[in-house]
């Protein structure tokens, strides 16, 4: 999953409405991408 893919799914991720597979990919990306972590934190 690319950064843009993850960024597009962060809203759904914050609402826990992604699939389990998507969530795992998002979390793997968040571990390596501070901007996405900040964005995810802003949603919650
Ligand atoms: Zn990212």
| Ligand 1 centroid – CA 7 distance (Å) | 6
> Mutual orientation of helices 20-30 and 3-14 as an angle, nearest 10°?
120
| Ligand 1 centroid – CA 33 distance (Å) | 5
CB atoms within 10 A of CB 13: 20
Q: Which two tokens stand for residue 32?
A: 């390596």
| Average pLDDT of every residue of the chain | 96
> Mutual orientation of helices 34-43 and 3-14 as an angle, nearest 10°?
20
The model's pLDDT over 8-24, given as tens digits with 9 standing for 90+, comes to: 999 999 999 999 999 99
| Ligand 1 centroid – CA 37 distance (Å) | 8
**Residue 38 or 43, more confident:** 38
Count of residues in the chain: 44
Q: What is the pTM of this model?
A: 0.89
Where exactly are the structural domains of the chain?
3-43
Phi, psi values for residue 40, rounded to 5°? -65, -40
């Amino acid at each position: 999953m690319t950064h843009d893919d993850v960024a597009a799914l962060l809203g759904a991720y914050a609402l826990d409405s992604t699939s389990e597979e998507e969530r795992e990919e998002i979390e793997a990306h968040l571990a390596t991408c501070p901007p996405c972590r900040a964005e995810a934190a802003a949603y919650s």
